[in-house]
C-alpha cells in the first residue's frame, strides 16, 4: 500500500484513540470512530472530557472528522483498533470489545485493506483471535486479500510531557512488506522514531512485559511497606536513604490501578497458563498489589483507634479517587476498594475529587462524590496527589486534635501527617 493513498479510521476515541486520530488527521484523511454517539458529538464540538486534548489540538487536525456511523468508515483502507482490553471479575482477559470491533470491521473489509491493532493483548492474540473473526466476517483471506499490523499503545493518561509523538513506537506487520508499511506510516507522525519488531507476537509481548515489569517492581516496594509498617519505620525515609546509591530503582509504594499496570500482567499470565506454565513472580506481584487496598483501610482504622476515636460512625475524608494524579481517569481505581472497606467498619466516608466526573464515579462504583468539603473529619486520607490538593488547609478539616492524617503519596508537608504509606 502506498502511504500517500491511505484513508485512516481510528476505532475507539478514548485516551489512546483520540491523540492518535489528531496526529494522523494532520497528515492524512482520518476518521475518528466510536460507538458512543455522545462522545462523538462532544468531539465534533472540540470537547474532550478525558482532558487528553484541547479544543485547539482537535481542530488543528484539518483532515480529521468524527462519526459513530459504521457506514462512514467503509471508504477507509487502514483501520487502527484502540478499543479497551480489560479483565473480568475472575482476572481473565475480557476480549469482548476486541472481538466486537473485529467483527464490525470484517463486515466492511475490502481487498487490500490493512487492520492495525493497538489494544494491549497477550502474545499471539491478533493472529489467534482477531484474524479468524476478520476472515469469517469478510470472506476474505488473511495475508492474501487483507493484512494486519500490531503497534502497542504507550500513551500515559495525564502526562503532558511524554506524549504520543515523543514516545518511540513499536511497530509490526503480518508480512515483511506490511511491517515496512506500518512502520513507515507511524514514522510519519512519531518524532521520537519507531522500532520495527521481528513479528506481531514480539510486539504484543513487548507491551505486556512493559507493564508487568513495573507491576512487579512496585509490588516489591509495597511488600517493603508492609514490612516496615511492622518494624515501625517510615518507608519513604528508608527509600530516601537507599536511593542515594546510583543503581537503586526509585519506585514508591502505592495503590496500583488504572487500565494498564493492574491489568496487563493478567494477560501475560493467561497466555503462560494456557501453555502449561504457571508464572510465580508475575502473579505474586499482583497478589501483593491487589491486597494493598485492604492494608490501607486497616491501617487507617488502626490509626483512628490508637488516637482514641470511635470507629462506628466516625467521619473519614478521602482526597482523590482517580487512579493517578492530575487526570480524570477512574478505571480500576483501588481507592474505591479502600472506600468500601472503610464503610464495612461502620465509618461514614466522603470522597472529594475535582478531577473525576461524579456521574462516571457513581455509575462505575456506586459512590457519590462530594462537590465541596463542608464538614470536619476524624480521619483524612490523601489518596491522590492532585496539584490543587496542595492548596487545601488540611488542619482546618480536622474535627479535633485527635483527628489523624494518612498520606499515601508522600505529598503533604511531613509535619501535618501522622503516617505515610
**Catalytic annotation, residues:** 260
Torsion over CA of 292, 294, 295 and 298, rounded to 10 degrees?
A: 160
Q: Are 240 and 394 in contact (CB under 8 A)?
A: no
What backbone torsions phi and psi does residue 106 show, to the nearest 5 degrees? -60, -30
Q: Are 377 and 403 in contact (CB under 8 A)?
A: yes
CB atoms within 10 A of CB 166: 11
The alpha carbons of the chain give a radius of gyration, in whole angstroms, of 23
Q: Are 37 and 17 in contact (CB under 8 A)?
A: no
CB atoms within 10 A of CB 83: 23
C-alpha cell read off for 407: 498520606
Q: Are 27 and 188 in contact (CB under 8 A)?
A: yes
Amino acid at each position: 500500500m502506498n502511504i500517500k493513498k491511505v484513508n485512516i479510521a481510528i476505532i475507539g476515541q478514548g485516551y489512546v484513540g483520540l491523540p492518535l486520530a489528531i496526529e494522523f488527521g494532520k497528515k492524512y484523511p482520518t476518521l475518528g470512530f466510536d460507538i458512543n454517539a455522545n462522545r462523538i458529538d462532544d468531539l465534533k464540538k472540540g470537547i474532550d472530557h478525558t482532558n487528553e486534548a484541547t479544543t485547539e489540538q482537535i481542530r488543528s487536525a484539518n483532515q480529521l472528522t468524527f462519526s459513530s456511523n459504521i457506514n462512514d468508515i467503509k471508504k477507509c483502507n487502514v483501520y487502527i483498533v484502540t478499543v479497551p482490553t480489560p479483565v473480568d471479575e475472575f482476572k481473565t482477559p475480557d476480549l469482548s470489545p476486541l472481538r466486537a470491533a473485529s467483527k464490525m470491521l470484517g463486515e466492511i473489509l475490502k481487498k487490500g485493506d490493512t487492520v492495525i491493532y493497538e489494544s494491549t493483548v497477550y502474545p499471539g492474540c491478533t493472529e489467534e483471535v482477531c484474524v479468524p473473526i476478520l476472515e469469517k466476517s469478510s470472506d476474505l483471506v488473511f495475508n492474501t486479500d487483507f493484512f494486519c499490523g500490531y503497534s502497542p499503545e504507550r500513551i500515559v493518561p495525564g502526562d503532558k510531557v511524554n506524549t504520543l509523538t515523543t514516545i518511540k513506537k513499536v511497530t509490526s506487520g503480518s508480512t515483511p512488506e506490511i511491517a515496512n508499511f506500518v512502520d513507515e506510516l507511524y514514522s510519519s507522525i512519531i518524532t521520537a522514531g519507531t522500532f520495527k519488531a521481528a513479528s506481531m507476537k514480539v510486539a504484543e509481548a513487548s507491551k505486556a512485559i512493559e507493564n508487568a515489569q513495573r507491576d512487579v517492581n512496585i509490588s516489591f516496594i509495597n511488600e517493603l511497606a508492609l514490612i516496615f509498617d511492622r518494624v515501625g519505620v517510615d518507608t519513604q525515609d528508608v527509600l530516601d536513604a537507599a536511593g542515594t546509591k546510583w543503581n537503586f530503582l526509585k519506585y514508591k509504594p502505592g495503590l496500583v490501578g488504572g487500565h494498564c499496570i493492574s491489568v496487563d500482567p493478567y494477560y501475560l499470565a493467561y497466555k503462560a497458563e494456557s501453555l502449561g506454565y504457571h508464572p510465580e513472580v508475575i502473579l505474586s506481584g499482583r497478589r501483593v498489589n491487589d491486597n494493598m487496598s485492604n492494608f490501607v483501610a486497616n491501617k487507617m482504622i488502626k490509626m483512628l483507634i490508637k488516637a482514641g476515636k470511635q470507629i462506628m460512625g466516625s467521619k473519614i475524608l478521602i482526597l482523590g479517587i482517580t487512579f493517578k494524579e492530575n487526570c480524570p481517569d477512574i478505571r480500576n481505581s483501588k481507592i474505591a476498594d479502600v472506600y468500601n472497606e472503610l464503610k464495612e467498619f461502620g465509618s461514614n466516608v466522603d470522597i472529594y475529587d475535582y478531577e473525576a466526573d461524579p456521574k462516571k464515579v457513581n455509575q462505575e462504583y456506586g459512590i457519590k462524590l462530594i462537590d465541596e468539603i463542608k464538614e470536619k473529619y476524624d480521619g483524612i486520607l490523601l489518596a491522590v496527589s492532585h496539584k490543587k490538593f496542595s492548596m487545601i488547609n488540611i488542619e482546618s478539616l480536622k474535627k479535633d486534635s485527635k483527628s489523624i492524617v494518612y498520606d499515601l503519596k508522600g505529598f503533604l508537608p511531613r509535619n501535618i501527617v501522622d503516617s505515610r504509606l
